[in-house]
Amino acid sequence: MASEIEARLKALGIVLPVPGKPAANYVPYVVSGKLLFLSGQVPMTPDGVKFVGKVGREYSIEEGQEAARLCAINLLGVAQAAVGDLERIQRIVKVVGFVNATPDFPDVHKVVNGASDLITEVLGEQRGKHARSAIGMGTLPLGVAVEVEAIAEIA
């Protein structure tokens, strides 16, 4: 029988990716006690990096949200690889979203909603609602528009 989380993923048409190897000197996650620290994820697909450029110039708020959503899907893929089953996630404690934006772009918080909304939709309100920071950046790795990291409490 499929779990609630698996059923939500299926209903959304999401297949979580198997994480690749990090491109630099870090690990994709660290478990410390009951906390799972997930390294920042960029909008990567099996076809490569997507959404290269700045929100407010190359991308609209809605396109930025799509990039953030893809980052969140990748975060959940890493979380699943880390703990084996997303049902072990008791709560997403904190999400930090970084938005590669033009200096005058005031809506980074709206862009990061793409990640927050997806995480809450997949994990449910009780597990998925989280504290959050949304930060505008001058650049991000590989020139991507969005990067998202998270901390989760696990059983």
pLDDT digits (tens, 9 = 90+) for 13-45: 999 999 988 889 999 999 999 999 999 999 999
Instruction: State pTM to two decimals.
Output: 0.96
Fold category of 4-9+27-154 in CATH? 60s Ribosomal Protein L30; Chain: A; (3.30.1330)
> pLDDT digits over 108-130, tens only?
999 999 999 999 999 999 999 99
* Side-chain half-sphere exposure of 89, counting CA atoms within 13 A: 36
Domain ranges across the chain:
4-9+27-154
Residue 91 burial (10 A CB sphere; 0-12, 13-18, 19+): middle
78-92 tens-digit pLDDT: 999 999 999 999 999
Residue 77 corresponds to which tokens in the numbers above?
Answer: 């893929």
In angstroms, what is the C-alpha Rg of the chain? 15
In this model, does residue 1 exceed pLDDT 90?
Answer: no
